[in-house]
Structure 1
Amino acid sequence: MNETMVCAVGRVATQPVYREVASGPSARFRLAVTARYWDREKNMWTDGHTNFFTVWANRQLATNTAASLTVGEPVIVQGRLKVRTDVREGQSWTSADIDAVAIGHDLAWGTSAFRRGGKPETAAAPAQPEPNWETPPEGTAAVAEDSSQRPIRDVVLT
């Protein structure tokens, strides 16, 4: 399909609104994207025009969006751009919506801690020990600590 995919970097302008609808979870929020440019006369960065987009998220992305985002946070949104024009009460208006495929915090402005969302309850799988992800010191061999697995040896050549 020929769709207009965009990547918008901006700030959350409204608190996400979460709804359970017949087709599954849905969330929406407004995204403010402000252009910045270098003003040579003032010798400083200056804010330009601000564009506002309504971002729509569905299914698990909607659930995670509602749980993760608050007003003012810097985010990156990737999705399909939909521009609509309509006439209401004699007034013409245009809206720009983004049907989000991915939403994340902009780490250029701060840190974020990722947590997996909850999964539906299923039969519990047997717990397995966490593997040892440590890199062995140079010149030594690492052996798998889990006795249920065949020993794995990493040999470091010097």
Structure 2
Amino acid sequence: MNDTTVTLVGNVATAVEYRDTATGGVARFRFAVTARRWDRERGLWSDGPTSFYTVSAWRSLGANLAASVSVGEPLVVHGRLRVREDEQDGRRTTFVDVAALAVGHDLSRGTAAFRRAARPVGADQGPGAQPGPGAPEEPGPGLVEAPARDPWAIAAEAAEGPAERLVTVP
């Protein structure tokens, strides 16, 4: 398969629209990516042109995206790029679409708290399908589920900086 994959960092430009279809649900939204460059002469960052992409996410990714994302939020989108041209009213228009494979909040610009989505048995799996990467393992010998921690407490600990450590050298 010779698909072009891209990773985009930007902001959600429109509300996420979610629809159920015969092949599974799909979420769509417009995504704005603005180039930023350091201007040495003025000594500050300047914004370049903004590019807009239509992002589509299918099945469980689309449902989770629709439940998790709002306009203006910073995201990282990874997916397959598709460029198409259309003629409308005698004018040729170019559309750039991304079929999302993974979407997440840009944690360099804020914090997020992850909650695993409850899935019905057999969801997103056809006959003979294997669990995908990151699928939860069945509890078994040696596996212990870690207790949930408050994300704000974790962020506060990180903000305090690393604890001093005493190292002894033999």
Q: TM-score range by the shorter chain?
A: 0.7 to 0.9
Pick the structure with greater CA Rg.
1
User: Which residues of 2 match residues 61-80 of structure 1 at below 5 A?
Assistant: 61-80=61-80
Q: Show structure 1 runs of 4+ deviating over 2 A.
A: 130-134
The 3-state SS of whatever aligns with 2:25 is strand
Alignment match, 1:131: 144
State how 1:1-158 maps to structure 2 within 5 Å.
1-120=1-120, 131=144
Q: CA deviation at 1:121?
A: 5.9
Deviation at 1:56, TM superposition (A): 0.3
In the aligned structure 2, how far is the partner of 1:27 from the partner of 1:80? 15
Q: Taking structure 1 as reference, are residues 132 and 106 closer, same or farther at Cα in structure 2, changes over 3 Å only?
A: closer
Unmatched segments (≥5 aa) in structure 1: 135-158
For the structure 1 residues 116 and 91, does the alpha-carbon distance in structure 2 shift closer, same or farther, using more than 3 Å as the test? same
* Structure 1: distance between partners of 2:109 and 2:69: 14
| Structure 1 residue 133: Cα displacement | 5.4
Residues 77-112 of structure 1: CA deviation (Å, up to 9, x unaligned): 000000001111101100000000000000000110
1:34-86 alpha-carbon deviations (Å, 9 max, x no partner): 00001122210000010000000000000000000001111000000000011
Q: Matches of 2:87 and 2:7 in 1, distance apart? A: 28
| Alignment size in residue pairs | 129
Distance 1:69 1:38, change over 3 A: same
Tell me: CA distance 1:91–1:132, structure 2 relative to 1, closer, same or farther (3 Å): closer
CA distance in 2, matches of 1:54, 1:121: 31
Choose between structure 1 and 2: higher helix proportion: 2
Q: What letter matches 1:41 in structure 2? A: E
The residue type equivalent to 1:66 in the other structure is A
- For 1:50, give the aligned amino acid: T
Q: Which runs of 5+ in 2 are unaligned?
A: 123-138, 148-170
- Please state which structure has a larger fraction of its residues in strand: 1
| TM-score normalised by structure 1 residue count | 0.76
- Tell me the distance in 1 between the aligned counterparts of 2:26 and 2:144: 37
Aligned-pair Cα RMSD in Å? 2.1
